[in-house]
Structure 1
Amino acid sequence: MGGIRRRCTAMRKAVSRDTIEATIVYMKGHLQEKITRDQLAALAGLTPEHYSRVFKKYTGRSPFEYMMGLRVERALELLQRSPIKVKEVARRVGIDDPYYFSRMFKRMTGAAPSDRKGKQAIGQTP
């Protein structure tokens, strides 16, 4: 009986990991959209609360924190590689309020978006 229980636990872990990875792929493909935890949980076939617990277990961050991290990474790429304004960068990563975007960007990177405009990422060589 213990062997069956271990196999079921292993299967649940595999399903949960695959489920979380699928929602991360979805997040990456839909950065411009407003995505809620409820939407991601429904996509995963889990309750919102259970989804958040499982997501944090596998990533170390809440779904919101993870999504903001993806948005800031993409914003950094856009700021470094394109001549568009910060307001447009915010819109392209799914944040309508450029002031909110600037605060989140600075909180996560330590620099304002305008400070990163056109600059190489730290650790990159030209």
Structure 2
Amino acid sequence: MRRAISRDTIDATIVYMEGHLQEKITRDQLASLAGLTPEHYSRVFKKYTGRSPFEYMMGLRVERALELLQRSPIKIKEVARRVGIDDPYYFSRMFKRLTGAPPSDRKVKQAIGQTR
């Protein structure tokens, strides 16, 4: 018989993600924190959030990157590193896929400034 997985279990892994954005985090690590197999963790995570753990983590990383781009003139390579992505080209592709614009786009930076 399977034990019921609470929303709190998934929320605890989300809090972990938020606190460790700059680190490489695997699904296996998150599943272990939740006390689940990786496959079961992914299913439960998607049930509660609507996204896979990977998609959710990338969303958190892009949100943090947007904050960094707005608040400081650091290079994209450094922004990528600070959100846990070593490859700035991969970071730029993911950023554009999730926001619709590359991180170097001044309109993105201006739009961010206007919404806060």
SS at 1:46 equivalent:
coil
Query: Quick one: distance in 1 between partners of 2:14 and 2:74?
Result: 27
Equivalent of residue 27 in structure 1, options 13, 17, 27: 17
Match of 1:72 in 2: 62
Gaps of at least 5 residues in structure 2 are none
Measured after TM superposition, the shift of residue 124 of structure 1 is 3.6
Please say if residues 101 and 108 of structure 2, whose CA atoms lie closer than 8 Å, have aligned partners that are also in contact. Answer: no
Measured after TM superposition, the shift of residue 119 of structure 1 is 2.2
> CA-to-partner distance for each residue in 1:29-66, whole Å, 9 max, x for gaps?
00000000000000000000000000000000000000
Match of 1:84 in 2: 74
Flag the structure with larger Rg: 1
Q: Are residues 1:99 and 2:89 paired?
A: yes
TM-score (norm 2): 0.90
Measured after TM superposition, the shift of residue 16 of structure 1 is 2.3
Deviates more, 1:93-102 or 1:114-123: 114-123
Query: Quick one: distance in 1 between partners of 2:40 and 2:23?
Result: 23
Query: Quick one: distance in 2 between partners of 1:14 and 1:84?
Result: 45
Deviates more, 1:107-116 or 1:94-103: 107-116
Query: Quick one: distance in 2 between partners of 1:103 and 1:116?
Result: 16
Work out the number of aligned pairs and report it: 116
> CA-to-partner distance for each residue in 1:78-126, whole Å, 9 max, x for gaps?
0011111000000000000000000000000000000158824459456
CA RMSD of aligned residues (A): 2.5
Please identify runs of 4+ aligned residues in structure 1 that moved more than 3 A.
11-15, 120-126
CA distance 1:65–1:97, change in 2 (3 Å): same
Query: Quick one: distance in 2 between partners of 1:56 and 1:105?
Result: 21
